[in-house]
Amino acid sequence: MKIKELDLLKKMKHKITPTHPRANSLVIREKLVEGFNNGIVVPHGLIAHGRGEAFDYLLGEKTTKFAYEAEKVAVCLMLLSKKPIISINGNTAALCARDLVTLSNVTKSRIEVNLFHKSTARSSAIASILKKENAIVVLGLDNKSKTIIENISSNRKFVDKNGIMNSDTIFLALEDGDRTENLVKMGKKVISVDLNPLSRTAIVSNVTIVDNIVRVIPNMIKIAKQLVKKDKQYLLRLVNSFNNKENMHKSLLMIKKGI
């Protein structure tokens, strides 16, 4: 456990030791509640986190070999893309802001804040956290460069002209089906992280990572540092030999086995 996480354990109202069987899950939960108290996570984000917790519990709270394979392909896709971008919301910023910035650096991806429950204050608070972790440019804040994606009914339709709108590959950490479907229809490659392999997001994405975001990003950083040295042909072979539907189905079987 990292120092920051040990500190969070100490701050908890109901004392939890680092050896508690659910300490990791409780620390992650506490980070979300802290994010909520800091105004970057919304009530609906807390509920969404709970859903993820349940699926993660059924997965045994570890990265399966199928998830790792998807993470590897996701990195390949980002390294092969001309304009990859990482879309960030309140929950992901609360859980792993530093790692997201590192991933964006290693994969040369831009970062855009894109929220379902949108407010200027919240966007700014999320951008501040990312900048504190050394993000240089954070898109999605400037109203002048905003444009609209048709057919998305939520506030997620507002995207940056120079960000999500003109990207070729989008890493959507924690998603909703509506946006994913429309981005795929627009011809973009979509990578999503979703612990529920039965969700609409999981089904329509090009690469679906059925794993917890707090494990996904560190894994992807490690993978990216290795793969960035490889040539394009090598990366392309990995992407072309990947079958997303089959991979997701295997994750589903892991969950089934876990029950």
Closest CB to a second copy among residues 143, 153: 153
Candidate list 14, 144, 229, 245; residue touching a second copy; CB under 8 A:
14
Kindly state the smallest distance separating residue 117's Cβ from a second copy, in Å.
Answer: 7
Using the minimum distance from each CB to a second copy, give the nearer residue, 168 or 178.
178
| Class of residue 177 by CB neighbours under 10 A (exposed 0-12, middle 13-18, buried 19+) | middle
CB of 191 to a second copy, least distance (A): 22
**Least Cβ distance, residue 43 to a second copy (angstroms):** 5
Kindly list the distances between the CA atom of residue 94 and the CA atoms of 18, 31, 35, 38, 255, in Å, as whole numbers in the listed order: 21, 6, 5, 9, 26
User: Residue 62: how many CA atoms within 13 Å on its side-chain side?
Assistant: 5
62 binding a second copy? (CB under 8 A): no
Q: How far is the CB of 69 from a second copy (least distance, A)?
A: 20
Query: Please, are residues 244 and 205 in contact by the beta-carbon 8 Å criterion?
Result: yes
Using CB under 8 A, which of the segments 48-56, 73-81, 131-139, 223-231 binds a second copy?
48-56
Distance from C-alpha of 71 to C-alpha of 65, rounded to nearest angstrom: 10
**CB environment 189-211: b (16+ within 10 A), e (fewer):** bbbbbbbbbebebbbbbbbbbbb
- Cα–Cα dist 36/126, whole Å: 11
Considering only 75-83, 165-173, 219-227, 251-259, which stretch makes contact with a second copy by CB under 8 A? Answer: 251-259
Burial of 221: CB neighbours in 10 Å, binned 0-12, 13-18, 19+: middle
**Nearest-angstrom CA–CA distance, 247 and 142:** 38
CB atoms < 10 A from the CB of 229, how many?
Answer: 7
- Residue from 1, 6, 54, 148 in contact with a second copy (CB under 8 A): 54
Q: Is 187 in the site for a second copy (CB under 8 A)?
A: no
- Binding of a second copy by 59 (CB under 8 A): no
Q: Which amino acid is at 99?
A: D
The residue (of 154 and 240) whose beta carbon lies closer to a second copy is 154
Among residues 8, 31, 49, 214, which is the contact residue for a second copy, using CB under 8 A? 49
Phi, psi of 119 (to 5 degrees): -155, 150
Shortest Cβ 32–a second copy spacing (Å): 7
Smallest separation (angstroms) from a second copy to the CB of 93:
16
Choice between 43 and 187, CB closer to a second copy: 43
Residues 144-173 that bind a second copy (CB under 8 A): 153-154
Note the residue count of the chain: 259
Q: Which residues bind a second copy (CB under 8 A)?
A: 13-15, 29, 32-33, 36-37, 43-44, 46-55, 57, 116-117, 153-154, 196, 198, 252, 255-256, 259
